[in-house]
Amino acid sequence: MKSTEKLNVVLQHIKDVFVGKNEIIDLLGIGLLARENAFLLGPPGTAKSALVRALSNGIEGGKNFEYLLTRFTEPNEIFGPFDIRKLKEGELITNTEGMMPEASMIFLDEIFNANSAILNSLLMALNEKIFRRGRETKKLPALMFIGASNVLPEDEALNALLDRFLIRVKCDYVDPDLLHEVLLAGWKIESRGTDETPTITADEIVELQSLCRTVDLTGIRKQYVDIVHNLRNTGIKVSDRRAVKLQNLIAASALMCGRQEAVVSDLWVLKYIWDNEEQIEILEGIINHIIEKDDSESQHPQALYNKTPNPEEVMKEMQHLTERWQDESLSFEEQNVIKDKLRYLQSRCDWIKNNDQKQYIQKEIEALWQKILQTV
């Protein structure tokens, strides 16, 4: 069995256990192949820790490190204590046995509790996969870092930490329609435990990460450049460094499908590069509009997944935007957010099946655009 097939078997097993979490699991697989970090945002009880643990258990021959950060977490708890024997000889050498610098899969829960004592070392580890403490420098064997939090950072000093996670995924409670399946799967775990877990070795993952860098992106580069320009014009920050690294995610999507060349639908991964929750819908509107035109046979399953919008929910969002626009204290940035969301609703409106509902909502959208134009 090929390594990509083995990884897909591992991911499918996790999907069978965690019902309704396919999107998150696929994105964790993409991050693993691309050797890029992923951030999970969601309330307690949405299986963030359990998902990461299941993925870690599926990687054979690697060491896992998991830690819940608090404001009082000290460097020793993450990187390891100083070696006492070496310290007596005047050398500051860290004993990293069983700690983060020796792990292949690293999960840091409540990542934004990181304090200044560990922040600099953590930023370098996340960005360059290097551990530096004093004069000590060590290359990390980390295949992937995964961070999680219930909330996004409010302190600007922590924005640099979020920036180190290329993939950002929102974890919600599962759809109510899937609750019955969730209960059955959960009861199976509680009563009998999980069946024997399929695995892939850490060495095979490293080989796949190298193979990922050989994927041909020529066929989608023009569309990708256009998207980056579009996102920047929309107000979504995509630095040159980030634009370069995002190519790894596109390549990983292709490789997961057994391809050595990327197609337009592989751009689906760009929906998960938001900086705040308001950008999620905007990104979906922009990216879905592009990938829906791809008729390739071997598309990533997540690229084919488009939710049919609920007309009532679209109408509620329209009313909310209309009410917000009437607020005379709106800043220029807030006005732009409303415009972006309105464009997104306009694109989603095309997917509404009931023609009467579609026409009614389109009229409401047009009415709000007229109000916006009158105030410009």
- Where do the domains of the chain lie? 3-192, 214-304, 311-375
Mean pLDDT of 115-141: 87
> Which residues neighbour 38 within 8 Å (Cβ) at sequence distance 6 or greater?
27, 28, 31, 144, 145, 146, 147, 165, 166, 167, 168, 169
Residue 200 scores a pLDDT above 60: yes
CA–CA separation, 205 and 209 (whole Å): 6
Residue 250 scores a pLDDT above 60: yes
In the CATH scheme, what is the code of domain 3-192?
A: 3.40.50.300
CA–CA separation, 89 and 82 (whole Å): 12
pTM metric for this prediction: 0.79
pLDDT at 88 (0 to 100): 60
pLDDT at 39 (0 to 100): 97
Residue 9 scores a pLDDT above 70: yes
CA–CA separation, 161 and 120 (whole Å): 10
Residue 193 scores a pLDDT above 60: no
User: What is residue 268's DSSP assignment?
Assistant: G
Mean pLDDT of 35-50: 92
Of residues 177 and 63, more confidence is placed in: 63
Mean pLDDT of 29-44: 95
Residue 297 scores a pLDDT above 90: no
CA–CA separation, 98 and 78 (whole Å): 10
